[in-house]
Structure 1
């Protein structure tokens, strides 16, 4: 019986979106929660938007260095996220009907 100690599996990275469904009106501001746990020193967090029958669309990225960017169609004045130690809540301001979608938070 050979033991292979070279393969190390760390199941420590976790991403949670505790809010569930969020109901709001046009013009409102909503914040979608995303909490994460990681053993990595530097984290890269992403938000994606998926519309019905669509694929997840890249919205924005934030990282531990305090840098990040927004995709052209998701301008910072309406879509912003601030990366804290364990969370990266997505704030959507001045809600449009077209913002109705499923939003995914991802950790790299």
Structure 2
């Protein structure tokens, strides 16, 4: 029981996040989701983006360390000086309707040095924030 309680207890130092408001988009448009936090640049490794569709599990989108990372229709901008990240989705489809989440990976020298994946150092230092993307018809 004690182990279970430790797993679900909130971290001691939670980050403060501000999120962009809900988005309405038309098919083919570009959508930009913003994530602001208060964790200094040297205290986290990467910004991770996830999405969750209705009644489905959380799905990994991609992550970025700094500057711009592009994968398919997704672009992740990480500005470590401004403690912010953007997820840009190009050419949106109805299937992109989901709740989008932003999270920070805790600082871990060995992970950064060896370019390992998040599984090697999976401690998140911040709560996940919710960004909802609504489909706008017409």
> Which range, TM-score by smaller chain?
0.7 to 0.9
Cα offset, 1:103, TM superposition: 0.2
Higher helix share: 2
Higher strand share: 2
**Structure with max Cα Rg:** 1
Please identify runs of 4+ aligned residues in structure 1 that moved more than 4 A.
none
- Paired with 1:23 and 1:12, the residues of 2 have a C-alpha distance of 30
Paired residues for 1:41-80 under 5 Å: 41-43=42-44, 44-64=46-66, 76-80=71-75
- Structure 2: stretches of 5+ with no match in the other structure: 1-10, 106-138
Paired residues for 1:12-27 under 5 Å: 13-17=15-19, 19-27=20-28
* TM-score, normalising length: structure 1: 0.73
* TM-score, normalising length: structure 2: 0.58
1:97 to 88, 94, 99: 94
- Structure 1: stretches of 5+ with no match in the other structure: 1-8, 69-74
- Paired with 1:31 and 1:54, the residues of 2 have a C-alpha distance of 23
- Paired with 2:90 and 2:55, the residues of 1 have a C-alpha distance of 24
Cα offset, 1:95, TM superposition: 0.6
- Paired with 1:14 and 1:31, the residues of 2 have a C-alpha distance of 20
CA RMSD of aligned residues (A): 2.3
Cα offset, 1:39, TM superposition: 3.8
- Count residues in correspondence: 92
